Structure 1
């Protein structure tokens, strides 16, 4: 099966999950994430999260939990000048939002709210699929691959990338390309994977 065929199949799988199962999964992932973040001091930690889209694991309960625990949060924004790259902007309940070209909600661009990746300690990432070696299949735009490359190349050694996923998105094997970077951790409702 090609990457595109697998991506399409797994997107269908997650879209077909009942809404109540999706929400329950999000709360289970939030619980596991809270345990994972116990070693971080909330007031000194910035967590990059994302607004869920197209059947992704709902992140609203996760964002609410991060806020309750006192973590600072940032959201990805499509970089206006560096095509294919992400910027991260501070995010609170009062942040003005807009919709990007993919239909994904993101903070309105404001240079004062930009948070350099060097100041982000935890990077939560969406997945379309993953395998038992931590290989990740995304939506295909390469945005997170480019962000992960900074961590993988040793430029952001203090960053902890963590994938968030439904149990149903695990597959036996993801076809890997040269630019793919396996994740060190993935959290599903059933398990916290460490690779």
Structure 2
């Protein structure tokens, strides 16, 4: 079996081959799936991320959530607690800065922070996923730590992964800290492990 680093390299290369037109169509297909998800209808505070590095494009999804009257929150790397994320309310007027990875995030403003336990859903980015719902991230562990309370006792925000179909592999190498996802949405289907 390939190592996690080898899987990351392979799948990121697959993603980078996707054209802008393909990305737009994929995003629209995912919105079509999400419009039928009960979790969307019952949720108000939804965390998402700004896509980067070939990830499934999220700008249209964010706009769609706003149109549904949902409050959208974006992750910000915690300035003091290593490896932790904060979630800040995001609107079209939110001032943005690039974090240490070159990814745009809201400028830190403590008045815009919503505690993670008050989020209803967290759409999680991922590099790859497998047939058991295991998620391979970028390796920083930010989302594994964020989702740990949900994984341990199903409290707090429910995680749902977003991915392109090409990010699927049959089996990933899994570590003890990895948090499997109950649901992952791709352009062609909704994967369930609940």
Q: Does 1:83 align with 2:98?
A: no
Cα 1:184/1:22, change in 2 over 3 Å: same
2:97 matched to which residue of 1? 98
Q: Which runs of 5+ in 2 are unaligned?
A: none
Structure 1 residue 150 displacement after superposition: 1.9
1:10 is matched with 11
* Distance across 2 between alignment mates of 1:55 and 1:167: 12
Task: Give the superposition deviation at 1:22.
Answer: 1.2
Q: Secondary structure at the match of 2:169?
A: coil
Contact 2:159 2:182 in 1 (8 A): yes
Pairing of 1:165-176 with structure 2 (within 5 A) = 165-176=163-174
Pairwise CA RMSD of aligned residues?
1.2
- 2: distance between equivalents of 1:145 and 1:30? 25
Structure 1 residue 96, shift from structure 2 partner: 0.7
Query: 2:21 and 2:103 mapped to 1: Cα distance?
Result: 22
| 1:121 and 2:124 aligned | no
1:101 Cα deviation from its structure 2 partner: 0.6
1:107-144 Cα shifts (integer Å, max 9, x gaps): 00000000001110000011111011100011111000
| 1:155-174 per-position Cα deviation (integer Å, ceiling 9, x unaligned) | x6242200000011100101
> Contact 2:118/2:156 (CA < 8 Å) preserved in 1?
no
Structure 1-normalised TM-score? 0.95
Q: Distance in 2 between matches of 1:79 and 1:65?
A: 27
Matched residue pairs, number? Answer: 192
CA contact (8 A) 2:149 2:156 kept: no
Tell me, what secondary structure is at the counterpart of 1:27?
helix
Q: Which runs of 4+ in 1 moved over 3 A?
A: none
Q: Is the 8 A contact 2:85 2:142 kept in 1?
A: yes
The answer to whether structure 1 residue 163 and structure 2 residue 164 are counterparts is: no
- Measured in 1, the distance between the counterparts of 2:107 and 2:187 equals 31
2:148 maps to 1:149? yes
Equivalent residue of 2:35, what SS? helix
Change in Cα spacing, 1:38 to 1:143, as seen in structure 2 (3 Å) is closer
Q: Distance in 1 between matches of 2:187 and 2:79?
A: 35
